[in-house]
C-alpha cells in the first residue's frame, strides 16, 4: 500500500469522524478499489432480472465491466465483459438476451459459460480453451446475485446461511422490478454508509421515515411511554411472526441493530423489526401499496432488513421491497441504484401504482443523498476537524470504521 495511504490511515482517531483525506485522497480511493471493491462480495443483480437462459445484465465497478448471465442449465455465470482478442467489450447494452456472447468487433464468439466457441483466422495450433472469457466469481441465493472480482474470494456460505432463510419469505426470486432510479451522489461512498448507519439524523431529516419505524429511539431518546410501546409492539409482532414461521433475528427494540459488528468482522446481517402501530408497510400512510409478496400470510410482518458491506441494503415490507446498491465512482462520487420490487404477478395500475409505491423510500433516499453531499462539501475544508461520535447515537458509525479499516488493511 502506498505511503500516502498509510499517512491517511495514521489520521484515524477512535470514536471520531474520519479526517478529510479519507473522503478526498485519490491514492486511498485506488487502494479501496483494490482492497475492497475488487475483492469483496458485491451485490450485483437480482435473479428476477435474468430469469430465462441467455438473459444478462452488465454490472460496472470502477474500470471493470461484468456480464452476469443465466445459463441454459439454469445457473448463473459471470464473466469479464472483455474480448480475449483485442479487448472490445462484448455486451454493449446494460441488459439483454443472447444465445451466445459474440464480440461485435471481429466476432469471436463465446458460450454463455464463457468458453470460446468460434473465432476466425487464427493459427492451426490456436488453443481455444485458453481463450475463454475471464471468469468472475458469482453466487445466487433467494433472488440475490453476488459477484467477487477476487482471485480467491472469502467464503460466501456464511452470508447465504445468515441471509437466505430470512430473505426467503420475502419472495425476491418471484418478484419483479417495478421501478428503479439511478442516482449519482456527490459524496464519498463512506459518507453514504456512515449516514446509513445511524438514525441520529432522522427526526430532522426523515419526517416520513420516523413515523413508521422505531430506529430513532436509542437509549437517550427512550422514555417510559415509548419504551413500553416498543416493547409491546415487538412482543406482539414476534409472537405473531413465530406462529407463521417467520424469524425475527437476534435484534429487537428501538434504535439500530449493531451492524457491522464492533470488531469489524461481520459484514452481513439480517433482522426483522416491528413497525409503529398503524403501519403495515413503508408507505406514506402505512397501508400496503401492492399485493403480498413471497410466502407472507398477512401484511403484519414488520420490516425485513438485510445488509451486506460494502454495497447493499434492503428494506422489505409485506408488499414491496426496496434495494439499494452502491458503487463508488471516484473519491467524491457514489452511484446508488434504488429498486422497488413487487410480486412478479402484480399489475401496474391495477395492483400497484408508482405514485403510492415510490415516495416513502424515494424521499428517504434523496434526503440522505442531500445530507451526504453537504457533508462532502464541508469535509473538503482545511478547517474541518473530525468531531466526537456519540456512543449512544453513532455506535454503528464506529463499527463501520472498524470494518472499513480491517477491510482496507487486509484482515482476513
Instruction: Find all residues with CB under 8 Å of 271, minimum gap 6, and list them.
Output: 166, 248, 249, 250, 251, 257, 305
Selected range binding a second copy among 200-208, 284-292, 325-333, 345-353, rule: CB under 8 A: 200-208
Give the residue with the Cβ less far from a second copy, 341 or 372. 372
62 burial type by CB count under 10 A (0-12 exposed, 13-18 middle, 19+ buried): middle
Question: Does position 17 bind a second copy by CB under 8 A?
Answer: yes
Residue with Cβ nearer a second copy (243 or 392): 392
Query: By the 8 A CB rule, do 192 and 312 touch?
Result: no
CA 316-318-321 angle, to 5 degrees, is 30
> Interface with a second copy includes 188 (CB under 8 A)?
no
CB 242, min distance to a second copy, A:
34
Nearest distance from C-beta of residue 104 to a second copy, angstroms: 6
Closest distance to a second copy from the beta carbon of 19 (Å) = 9
Q: Choose which of 298, 388, 409, 411 interacts with a second copy (CB under 8 A).
A: 388
Least Å from the CB of residue 386 to a second copy: 7
Taking the least distance from each CB to a second copy, the nearer of 350 and 381 is 381
Under the binding rule (CB under 8 A), the answer on residue 63 touching a second copy is: yes
Q: In what order do the strands lie in the sheet with 116-118?
A: 101-102, 109-110, 116-118
Count of residues interacting with a second copy (CB under 8 A): 57
DSSP 208-230: HHHHH--TT--GGG--HHHHHHH
User: Do residues 149 and 39 lie in contact, with contact meaning Cβ atoms separated by under 8 Å?
Assistant: yes
Which of 106, 240 has the CB closer to a second copy? 106
By CB under 8 A, residue 381 contacts a second copy: yes
Is residue 349 within 8 Å of residue 357, measured between CB atoms? no
383 binds a second copy (CB under 8 A): yes
Under rule CB under 8 A, which residues in 345-374 are in contact with a second copy?
371, 374
Please list the alpha-helical segments (H only) found in 175-278.
189-196, 202-205, 207-212, 224-243
| Exposure of 330 in the CB half-sphere (CA atoms within 13 A) | 7
- Contact call for residue 30 and a second copy (CB under 8 A): no
Whichever of 122 and 244 has its CB closer to a second copy, that residue is 122
CB of 363 closer than 8 Å to CB of 211: no
How many angstroms separate the CA atoms of 296 and 343, rounded?
11
Of residues 303 through 332, those in contact with a second copy by CB under 8 A are none
Asked if 343 is part of the footprint of a second copy (rule: CB under 8 A), the reply reads: no
For a second copy, the binding residues in 69-128 under the rule CB under 8 A are 80-90, 92, 104-107, 120-123, 126
Nearer to a second copy, 139 or 332 (CB): 332
Q: Locate the DSSP E strands across 62-149.
A: 64-70, 76-80, 95-97, 101-102, 109-110, 116-118, 135-141, 144-148
Question: What residue ranges bind a second copy (CB under 8 A)?
Answer: 17, 20, 38, 63-65, 80-90, 92, 104-107, 120-123, 126, 131, 134, 194, 200-201, 204-205, 218, 220, 371, 374-375, 377-394
Amino acid at each position: 500500500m502506498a505511503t500516502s495511504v498509510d499517512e491517511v490511515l495514521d489520521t484515524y482517531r477512535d470514536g471520531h469522524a474520519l479526517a478529510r483525506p479519507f473522503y478526498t485522497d485519490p491514492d486511498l480511493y485506488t487502494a479501496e478499489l483494490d482492497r475492497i471493491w475488487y475483492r469483496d462480495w458485491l451485490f450485483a443483480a437480482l435473479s428476477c432480472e435474468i430469469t430465462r437462459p441467455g438473459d444478462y445484465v452488465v454490472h460496472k465497478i470502477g474500470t471493470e465491466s461484468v456480464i452476469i448471465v443465466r445459463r441454459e442449465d439454469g445457473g448463473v455465470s459471470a464473466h469479464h465483459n472483455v474480448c480475449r482478442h483485442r479487448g472490445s467489450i462484448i455486451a454493449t447494452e446494460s441488459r439483454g438476451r443472447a444465445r451466445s456472447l459474440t464480440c461485435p468487433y471481429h466476432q469471436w464468439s463465446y458460450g454463455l459459460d464463457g468458453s470460446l466457441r468460434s473465432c476466425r483466422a487464427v493459427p492451426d495450433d490456436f488453443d481455444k480453451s485458453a481463450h475463454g472469457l475471464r471468469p468472475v466469481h458469482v453466487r445466487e441465493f433467494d433472488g440475490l446475485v453476488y459477484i467477487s472480482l477476487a482471485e480467491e474470494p472469502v467464503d460466501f456460505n456464511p452470508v447465504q446461511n445468515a441471509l437466505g432463510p430470512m430473505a426467503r419469505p420475502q419472495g425476491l426470486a418471484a418478484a419483479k422490478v417495478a421501478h428503479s432510479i439511478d442516482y449519482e451522489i456527490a459524496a464519498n461512498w463512506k459518507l453514504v454508509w456512515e449516514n446509513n448507519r445511524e438514525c441520529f439524523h432522522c427526526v430532522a431529516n426523515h419526517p416520513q421515515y420516523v413515523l413508521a419505524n422505531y430506529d430513532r429511539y436509542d437509549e437517550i431518546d427512550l422514555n417510559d411511554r415509548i419504551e413500553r410501546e416498543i416493547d409491546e409492539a415487538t412482543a406482539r409482532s414476534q409472537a405473531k411472526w413465530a406462529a407463521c414461521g417467520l424469524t425475527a433475528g437476534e435484534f429487537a427494540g428501538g434504535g439500530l441493530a449493531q451492524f457491522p459488528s464492533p470488531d469489524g468482522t461481520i459484514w452481513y446481517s439480517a433482522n426483522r423489526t416491528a413497525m409503529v402501530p398503524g403501519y403495515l408497510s413503508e408507505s406514506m400512510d402505512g397501508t400496503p401499496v401492492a399485493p403480498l409478496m413471497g410466502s407472507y400470510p398477512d401484511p403484519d410482518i414488520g420490516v425485513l432488513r438485510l445488509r451486506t458491506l460494502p454495497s447493499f441494503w434492503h428494506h422489505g415490507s409485506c408488499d414491496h421491497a426496496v434495494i439499494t446498491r452502491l458503487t463508488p465512482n471516484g473519491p467524491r462520487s457514489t452511484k446508488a441504484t434504488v429498486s422497488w420490487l413487487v410480486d412478479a404477478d402484480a399489475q401496474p395500475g391495477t395492483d400497484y401504482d408508482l405514485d403510492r409505491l415510490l415516495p416513502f423510500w424515494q424521499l428517504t433516499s434523496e434526503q440522505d443523498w442531500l445530507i451526504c453531499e453537504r457533508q462532502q462539501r464541508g469535509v473538503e475544508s482545511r478547517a474541518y476537524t473530525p468531531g466526537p461520535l456519540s456512543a449512544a447515537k453513532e455506535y454503528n458509525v464506529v463499527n463501520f470504521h472498524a470494518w472499513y479499516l480491517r477491510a482496507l488493511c487486509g484482515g482476513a
